[in-house]
Chain A
Amino acid sequence: MKIHKKILTHYLSCTSPVDKEGYLYKKRERNTTYLRRWFVLKGNLLFYQERPGDRNLLGVIVLEGCMVQACETDGQFCFSLVFTGPGLRTYRLAADDHPSQESWIAALFCASHIYLSMIVRDLERRYEEAKRDKGLCVSIQTSEVTSAPNTIMASWYTGQPYFIQGTSIVPRDGRSYSTSSIAPTYVPNRPSNFSLHAPPAQFKATNKRSPKLWPKRNAHVTPLNGPAPSHSEWPMMGFDPLEEFSKLHEHYGNEVRQLRADWLKKKRKETGYIEEDLIDLG
């Protein structure tokens, strides 16, 4: 089967981010020797060559349908890429030290396209939920504000991942690293403090009107991959909903009270009498 090598090498050398690179030892297929190679992980592809910057690419491993496993038997800091299927290969690799081994295992674990697409689908669902929970006018805003991204993201990737038995993502809880089962189970040995590089919060106290009255945003202004629009357009930013909800309730309540007062005034002028309140607004 022809792999169109030029397309692969072009992808390797282009400006898209390298996910990880470094020296690893690779065991030869029919031999017990480990050879030192420079590995570059990009997307779901693991390239290797003799040295960094070498023109001659020795090989590439497509990381779909394999499990990443630490193996203690072969010696120190080893791990394998186990391709699951009849007659399929296991690549045996080794790192220089424990941190490197852990780091490579973690990176390779989440490298597959299948894994990435599962995560993205899950995030898409949670994004929709988060929008609904915030009570933003989803039906108005998503159709106008996010109409550009939605044409790309709506109903994309309809295929079933074939190595997966289910479609849910199960939180990690064990030491077997699998890219081909439903449960991502690697637990990294580092603090899970979150390191999202979002722009600094500059919450403006203005523009807290109820959602329906906000100016509609131009869909073309929203970059698909860039930072989200400025904080002043997201009224919930800076709020901890549990602590601030009463304040928010108070604020919107004031607005409603004002609107109602205006309406009542207007009505009295028109009809000349005062209606009973249907609801006791306190």
Chain B
Amino acid sequence: MRFNEKELVFLSRQPTQRAAELGMRGPKKGDVVKKRFVKLIVNFLFYFRTDEDEPIGALLLEQCRVEREDLQVFSIVFLDEAERKYLFECDSQEQCAEWIDAIIKASYEFMRKNLVYYRTEIHRLTGKDPLEQYGISDETRFQVNSALPPLPPPPPPT
């Protein structure tokens, strides 16, 4: 499958507030924790070998679940394959909480829901559609009925 790699690498080099060196472990059996420089940009999680310019990989943060695994560890599960977890080890509890929060809010679908919510509420409060002035009221992606249903609640912690 082709993709615009150069453009994505360029994107990965942009400054972001959510970047740090974390311990990262892949989902496969036998994968070990490795120090990686992790950057959250738009809805992608890029991860680099420390001091390298080009990322090793990019994870699209859509249709995934982020969970706290331990005081300083969080996981991301993709494709509803609960056994295939990416683990990230942070330096502190606070950093861990911040990353979880940031990743959840980074998803495009999450933002779309927020937009629909604000649009609806502003309309109720003011009688006006706030998207009219941008000329995007009719775009399918911003329609009230296009937002995803809420995700099922996460399983209770074991």
Within 112-127 of B, Cβ neighbours of A (below 8 Å) are at: 112-127
Q: B88-122: contact bitstring with A at CB < 8 Å (1 yes, 0 no)? A: 00000000000001001110110111111111111
Q: B158 at interface (Cβ–Cβ under 8 A)? A: no
Contact present for B138 and A88 (CB under 8 Å): no
CA distance A275 to B143 in the complex (A): 58
The A contact surface, by secondary structure, is: loop
Contact A59 B3 (CB under 8 A): yes
Q: How far is the CA of A195 from the CA of B132 in the complex (A)?
A: 10
- Say yes or no for A93: interface residue by CB 8 A criterion: no
A residues sitting closer than 8 Å to B (CB atoms) are: 1-11, 14-17, 19-20, 43-45, 57-62, 64-66, 83, 85, 87-89, 91, 106-107, 110-114, 116-117, 119-120, 122-124, 126-127, 130-131, 133-134, 149, 152-153, 156-160, 162-163, 169, 171-172, 184, 186-188, 190, 192, 194-198, 223-228, 234, 236-237, 240
CA distance A59 to B1 in the complex (A): 5
Whole-angstrom distance between the Cβ of B151 and the nearest chain A Cβ: 10
Residues of B within 8 A of A123 (CB): 114-115, 118-119, 122, 130
Query: Are the C-beta atoms of B134 and A198 separated by less than 8 Å?
Result: no
B residues with CB within 8 A of A: 1-12, 14-18, 42-44, 54-60, 62-64, 78-79, 101, 104-106, 108-109, 111-150
Contact of B7 among A88, A187, A224, A226 (CB under 8 A): A88
Q: A83 to B7, Cβ gap below 8 A? A: yes
- Chain B, residue nearest A111 (CB): B141
Closest to B128 in A: A194
Please, which residues of chain B bring their CB within 8 A of the CB of A107?
Answer: 139-141
| B124 near A60: Cβ-Cβ < 8 Å | no
Beyond A87-B6, A171-B133, whether A106 also contacts B139 by CB under 8 A is: yes
Q: Which residues of the other chain, B, contact A172 by a CB distance below 8 angstroms?
A: 134-135
Q: Which residues of B contact A3 (CB under 8 A)?
A: 1, 3, 5, 8, 57-58
Residue of B nearest to A201 (CB): B124
